[in-house]
């Protein structure tokens, strides 16, 4: 595996852990536009600004 692929993989793992997209989270809201998890109910997505935050059932 090349140096850049290794670095990209590590970056993606760290990003997912920071964003809360990992399997260990209990998020009950998600933005349907950017598909990022959201910790609480927001009128607008804190990641992309769209008004598409919905409760995950």
Q: What pLDDT band is residue 50 in, cutting at 50, 70 and 90? A: very high
Residue 34: its pLDDT value, please? 92
Instruction: Check pLDDT > 60 for residue 7.
Output: yes
Q: Taking the complete model, does pTM exceed 0.75, yes or no?
A: no
Q: How far apart are the first and last CA of the chain?
A: 39
Residues 6 or more apart whose Cβ sits within 8 Å of residue 41:
29, 53, 55
Instruction: Check pLDDT > 90 for residue 2.
Output: no
Q: What is the pLDDT of residues 22-41, one digit of tens each?
A: 444 566 889 999 988 888 88
């Amino acid at each position: 595996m090349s140096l850049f692929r290794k670095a990209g993989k590590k970056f993606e793992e760290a990003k997912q852990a920071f964003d809360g997209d990992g399997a260990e989270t209990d998020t009950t809201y998600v933005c349907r536009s950017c598909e990022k998890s959201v910790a609480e109910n927001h009128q607008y997505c804190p990641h992309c600004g769209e008004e598409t935050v919905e409760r995950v059932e």
